[in-house]
Amino acid sequence: MKNRLQKNEDIDVLRFEKGGLGQEVEELCGENLFGCYQCGTCSAGCPFIEDMDLAPDDVIRYVVLDRVEVLNSKTIWLCASCYTCAERCPRDINITKIMEALRQIILRKNIDQTSLVKIPENERKIIPQMAFVSLFRKNIG
């Protein structure tokens, strides 16, 4: 696998023991990553696949192979928890929860992904409140 992921200084300082990333993800999401047989159903149905740097099944493979650079992936932040992959997985793995676990590993180190000041004033007036609440819940630790 070629490394397509951008470097990120904040995230690159995170250190894990051998196999530690997979273990932490499994503890957070309660899913068995090794159950995945890489069929790609999750990636085929994902509405954001075109904009992702890693496909959802790649993300699982990266975690299983202990490739910590998966935390630099755009994919985990593009996932909006629509549950389509979880609904369709033939191995009944909740990929939505795996994405959330990866986000939480970063957010719980106090590395936020959204800055409130960046949102323009005119947009703040028209966007539904629920969009803000969910964005902050997903992107701020």
**Nearer to another protein among residue 12 and residue 87 (C-beta):** 87
With helix as H, strand as E and coil as C, how does the chain read?
CCCCCCCCHHHHCCCCCCCHHHHHHHHHHCCCHHHCCCCCHHHHHCCCHHHCCCCHHHHHHHHHCCCHHHHHCCHHHHCCCCCHHHHHCCCCCCHHHHHHHHHHHHHCCCCCCCCHHHCCHHHHHHCCHHHHHHHHHHHCC
**Nearer to another protein among residue 1 and residue 32 (C-beta):** 32
Query: Could you list the residues that contact another protein (CB under 8 A)?
Result: 27-30, 47-48, 51, 78, 80-84, 86-87, 96-97, 100-101, 104, 114, 118-119, 123, 126-135, 137-138
In the complex, minimum distance from the CB of residue 43 to another protein, in angstroms, rounded to a whole number: 14
**Nearer to another protein among residue 1 and residue 106 (C-beta):** 106
In the complex, minimum distance from the CB of residue 104 to another protein, in angstroms, rounded to a whole number: 5
**Nearer to another protein among residue 2 and residue 20 (C-beta):** 20
How far apart CA 45 and CA 47 sit, in angstroms, is 6
In the complex, minimum distance from the CB of residue 1 to another protein, in angstroms, rounded to a whole number: 25
In the complex, minimum distance from the CB of residue 126 to another protein, in angstroms, rounded to a whole number: 7
114: which 2 tokens? 């959204």
